[in-house]
Amino acid sequence: MDKIIEFTSKTVVLAVNDIDTDQIIPARFLTVTTKDGLGDGLFTDWRFDEAGNKIKDFPLNQKKSDGCSILVTGSNFGCGSSREHAPWALVDYGFKAILSTSFADIFRNNALKNGLLPLTVSEDFHRMLIDNEGIQVTISLETMCIQSSNGVRENFELEHFSRYCLMNGIDQLGFILNHEDQINAYENKG
Amino acid sequence: MNKSGKTLFEKVWEDHLVVEETQETPAILYIDLHLIHEVTTPQAFQSLRDQGLPVRAPNKVLATMDHSTPTLPIRSIRDLDIVVEKGPADQIRDMIRNCEEFGIELFGFDSDKRGIVHVIGPELGATQPGKTIVCGDSHTSTHGAFGALAFGIGTTEVGHVLASQCLLQRKPKTFAVNMNGTLNPGVTAKDIILKIIQQTGVGGGVGHVIEYRGSTAGSLSLEERMTICNMSIEAGARAGMFAPDDKTFEYLIDKPMSPKGSDWDQAIEKWSQLFTDEHADFDNEISVDVGRLTPMVTYGTNPGMAIQIDDIVPEENGDLGYRQSLNYMQIEAGKPILGKDIDVVFIGSCTNSRISDLQDAAEIFKDRKVSHGVKALIVPGSQAVKKEAENLGLDKIFESAGAEWRESGCSMCLGMNGDTVGNGKLAVSTSNRNFEGRQGKGARTILASPKTAAASAIAGSVEDPRKYS
């Protein structure tokens, strides 16, 4: 996994609460056995019409969102199914961070294991992002801060362990397997 | 605050700590039972293969196929391509290969133990009080009905559990849902949980483990408890739990994988300690007056958008996207849901596909006909439920009413196997999610109990089941 320290991007806004993982990637895209190419299915029923043409009004389809790697969404993003295909699809499409006022638990866990930052921001900062769609922001794991190009700055929280793994590109399984002795001891105590 | 007691959740959590959490690192939690299915495991097995890792404890893995599987009968795996498309068929074959390679017993097509993973765990007795249970499926919360700590995980975590039998976790908060009163006729456990989610909202339980308590709790059957725990995730909760009691033990005794002989006696002794101590505190709490409940239905595109069946759709719920949701559903604010014409009825899913659910539906279908133009699909939760239903003659009741009776599986709950509602069509479904397109592209879903679904199939429109009782 690549190390993540700091990155800058314009933002794209989907101002809808409770966006579930069935919207992020519908079940019909889940009949795969690899992680490849899932970006094609990202928000597919919101991006494309019946004939398969792009729906012009949809934020991700607008020219100004080309190359955006930061998505701003409504609260409780990623609720519903545990499918890790949701963060896989977001990453494959090119997203590196989701900014919201809250996230569903399983989605948040899954995102952090795939180098996708699910960052919880304050209501005020969230409102600013929605009111200034497209604004450029810099996210730094070093300083734990989001700096927007209009000068507004927001600190965020991220638990130490996840931050350490993301900044060093470490897979979390290694940490568990380093506790082999303790696992054996637990199993043997019956 | 008096914090001398422990909650049920805390007892199970503490019993499974391999390494305690610190400020810097999450806890390493031991997992007793890992349920796996074909959709959320292929990439996890590949990751083990890439790293040259074995499955640590194949005997703690319960494997079946449910999501992509056809509900039309197939005689052998060679027939798979006739009934499902290439994607699901390949995924099923991949599952068979992975289980063979890693030494995991698979309840596949030739097994009478096959079924929806959250239905077979309990019916085999693999689900037990005090266990930690995970699965790459959010409805793993179902197993909390037995006093287990059970929750859904992602595929990366499936890989972690396969390789280490452990999971990295931060300790969740606790949430008490106090249920008081007795269910009225025509009202079911599904209506209780829809009411709870309406109250908490779909994000209200985020970061919490719910314990369902109060005078109603002990009166509910295990199947009713499973329906309630199943949809804990729809309130955003990590898991839902009921304290085990005599009903739990009665359910589990003599199940194939339950402890036997003196092991059973020891188990009962241990399980009997699994309750929330008198002076334990919860981080959050709500109450539900079960005695005042009526049948519930959803009107929008998440399970929190629910109303009493004879109520009108609210003008606003304060959510970003509320209007978009109603537009998608083609449902108008200020109007009733009752009497709205429907196209499809689905009775099934890990929420409502057990024998008592099918009996509830059969009571209404008996000597009546599915309304002309309505497609009614009834999918048992497992091959064992199917057999039991057939022994009771329920299949005959369904078929003579004009409903379709199928093989077990997840089926139309998420439409992965080709069982879909149809673009633009409106369904009354006993499943758990009414998200846009959840039951197939363009599908519109009203969630309800098996009784309400059956009544609606007969009426051809959203109908109050109390009319038929």
Q: What is the ipTM of this complex?
A: 0.97
Please list every residue in chain A whose beta carbon sits closer than 8 Å to the beta carbon of residue B42. Answer: 32-34
Are B202 and A18 inside 8 Å of each other by CB?
Answer: yes
Q: At CA B19, angle to CA B16 and CA B22, rounded to 5?
A: 120
Residue B229 backbone class (left: φ over 0; alpha: ψ -120 to 50; beta: rest): alpha
Structure tokens given for B128: 């037990």
Please give the residue that has the higher pLDDT: either B401 or B110: B401
- What the block records as the tokens of A89 is 């699809």
Contact B18 A79 (CB under 8 A): no
Indicate the pTM of the whole model. Answer: 0.97
Predicted pLDDT of residue B76? 75
Q: Which of B43, B164, B203 sits opposite A35 (nearest CB)?
A: B43
Which residues of chain A are under the pLDDT cut of 50? none
With CA atoms as reference, report the closest residue to B170 among B19, B4, B32: B19
Contact (CB, 8 A) for B181 and B51: no
| The pLDDT of residue B190 | 98
Segment B372-377 mean pLDDT: 98
Asked whether the predicted pLDDT for residue B250 surpasses 80, the reply is yes
- Residue A161 touches chain B, beta carbons under 8 Å: yes
Contact A161 B168 (CB under 8 A): yes
pLDDT tens for B285-329 read 999 999 999 999 999 999 999 999 999 999 988 777 899 999 999
Q: Among residues 275-294 of chain B, which lie with CB inside 8 Å of chain A?
A: none
**B 429-468 residues with CB < 8 A to A:** 433, 435-438, 440-442
Number of other CB atoms surrounding residue B267 within 10 Å:
18
* Test the B interface: residue of A45, A75, A82, A91 with most B CBs within 10 Å: A82
Put simply, the answer to whether B87 touches A32 (Cβ < 8 Å) is: yes
Domain A6-188 listed as CATH 3.20.19.10: yes
- Residue A11, chain B, CB below 8 Å: the answer is no
State chain B's mean pLDDT as an integer. 96
CB–CB contact A33 B42 (8 Å): yes
How far is Cα A16 from Cα B384, in angstroms, rounded to an integer? Answer: 42
pLDDT at B1: 46
Strands (E), B76-228: 106-107, 132-135, 149-152, 166-169, 173-180, 208-213
Q: CA–CA separation, A29 vs A8, rounded Å? A: 30
Q: What is the pLDDT of residues A15-33, one digit of tens each?
A: 999 999 999 999 999 999 9
B3 confidence band (pLDDT: 50, 70, 90): low
Chain B contact present for A189, CB below 8 A: no
Cα of B81 to nearest chain A Cα, Å: 14
- Calculate how close chain A gets to B148, using CA atoms only, in Å: 18
Question: Alpha-carbon torsion B363, B366, B371, B375, what sign?
Answer: positive
Residue B154 contacts A, CB cutoff 8 Å: yes
Task: Select from B50, B67, B138 the residue whose CB has the most chain A CBs within 10 Å, as the one to mutate to test that interface.
Answer: B138
A177 contact residues in B (CB cutoff 8 A): 163-164
All domains of chain B in start order, with CATH: 8-169 (3.30.499.10), 173-245+270-291 (3.40.1060.10), 297-468 (3.30.499.10)
Check: CB of residue B31 under 8 Å from CB of residue B152: no
Q: What is the mean pLDDT of residues B23-38?
A: 97
Tell whether B219 lies on the interface with A, counting CB pairs under 8 A: no
pLDDT for the residue B45:
98
Chain B nearest-CA distance from A136, in A, is 23
pLDDT at A190: 67
In this prediction, residues B142-153 reach a mean pLDDT of 98
CA distance A60 to chain B (A): 17
Rounded percentage of chain B residues whose pLDDT exceeds 70: 99
Contact B8, B281 (CB under 8 A): no
Average pLDDT over residues B407-424: 96
Q: Is the pLDDT of residue B464 over 60?
A: yes
Q: Is A172 on the interface with B (CB under 8 A)?
A: yes
How far A40 CA lies from chain B's nearest CA (Å)? Answer: 16
pLDDT of A173? 96
* Location of structure tokens 């209780």: B192
* Cβ of residue B42 closer than 8 Å to a chain A Cβ: yes
